[in-house]
Structures are given as C-alpha cells and as structure tokens.
Copies of this chain bind each other. A is one copy, B any other.
C-alpha cells in the first residue's frame, strides 16, 4: 500500500498523519441543524443575552453568526449534542430591551425546498411572538420567490418575553455535524 506525500498549498491548514503532511481544503459544511429559542432577564444586556442562550440550550458554545443558508441534505434534530466551547455556525435573531413592561419577541424560520438547500430567516422586535412568526413566514416566502424555487415546508420557532428590568429574547438555528 502506498500513502504518498501530497501537494501542500502554502496557505492551507496542516494536518499531520504519521509522517505525512496533508491539507484541509475548506471549512466543513454543516450536516445537521436544530431550532431553539429562549428568553432571560439580566443585570446587563450581555448577561441577559447569555441567560437567553442558556434557556435556549446553546450557551456553552461559541456562536459564529452566519447569514443564512441550510446546506443541502442537512438533517433536522430536536436537540444537538455539541461539546462545550465548540465553534458553532448559527443563524440567529435577538433583541434586548431595558423598558419594563415591554413585550419583545424573536423568531427563527427555515424554509425548505424539495431536494436542495433551505433558507433561514430571523426576526426580532418589540411585538408578540405571533407577529414575529407571521413576519418570518412572509420573509421565507419572499426569499423563495426571489429564487424561483417552490417552498415545500416551513419550520419556525419563536419566543416572547415581557421585560422586567433588562430582558433579552433569542431564537436560532445552530448548524452542526
């Protein structure tokens, strides 16, 4: 059996396999996804955000914000098991408010085509969850119309929160492997 030293472009990531140096040619495309959402109060905007991530079950990783396509063939999971500290490509919407009594909402939606990729849309605002969901559904329809693609299925997840002191809502589609 022959395992040969292969060409190594100057700028590529390196990987040692025994005495073989080889290369990684791009960032790996995600193959799974979930929808999640959460809300929280905090002493500051960022800790309220952190609290909302905790409620959404995604606080202990590093969110890499992406804009926002579901890779072809990606599989939906109710819950993804992601090691803490991982770099997680994530499409999300979030809003923080320090106006007591105000209702804020965030919604994430995925539009799926028959046999190809999906489009992810996020929305957050000073409104109820129903309005956020209606907005997302219209946005997904518009994205598919712009692509001349039939929209086969829509998945949405939203969260609504009445602000006490400093509140945050967060809705996301983490992409994983």
Identical subunits present: 3
Q: What string of 1s and 0s marks CB contacts (under 8 Å) between A58-69 and chain B?
A: 011111111111
Q: Tell me which of B17, B66, B143 contacts A17 (CB under 8 A).
A: B17
Q: Which of A110-142 contact B (CB under 8 A)?
A: 116-117, 119, 121-123, 135, 138-139, 142
Interface size for chain A: under 10, 10 to 19, 20 to 34, or 35 or more residues?
35 or more
Decide: B143 and A50 in contact? CB cutoff 8 A.
yes
In the assembled complex, the Cα of A99 lies from the Cα of B80 at a distance in Å of: 42
Which residues of chain B are near A15, meaning CB under 8 Å?
Answer: 15, 22-25
In the assembled complex, the Cα of A6 lies from the Cα of B18 at a distance in Å of: 6
Which residues of chain B are near A68, meaning CB under 8 Å?
Answer: 62
Q: Tell me which of B2, B18, B28, B146 contacts A27 (CB under 8 A).
A: B28
Q: Tell me which of B28, B73, B74 contacts A26 (CB under 8 A).
A: B28
Decide: B28 and A142 in contact? CB cutoff 8 A.
no
In the assembled complex, the Cα of A122 lies from the Cα of B6 at a distance in Å of: 37
Q: What string of 1s and 0s marks CB contacts (under 8 Å) between A64-85 and chain B?
A: 1111111111100000000111
What is the chain B residue whose CB lies nearest that of A71?
A: B85
> Apart from A12-B177, A15-B24, what are 19 other A-B pairs with CB-CB below 8 Å?
A2-B19, A3-B20, A4-B18, A9-B31, A13-B25, A16-B22, A23-B28, A27-B88, A28-B87, A29-B85, A43-B142, A46-B123, A50-B119, A62-B68, A64-B65, A66-B87, A69-B85, A71-B84, A71-B85
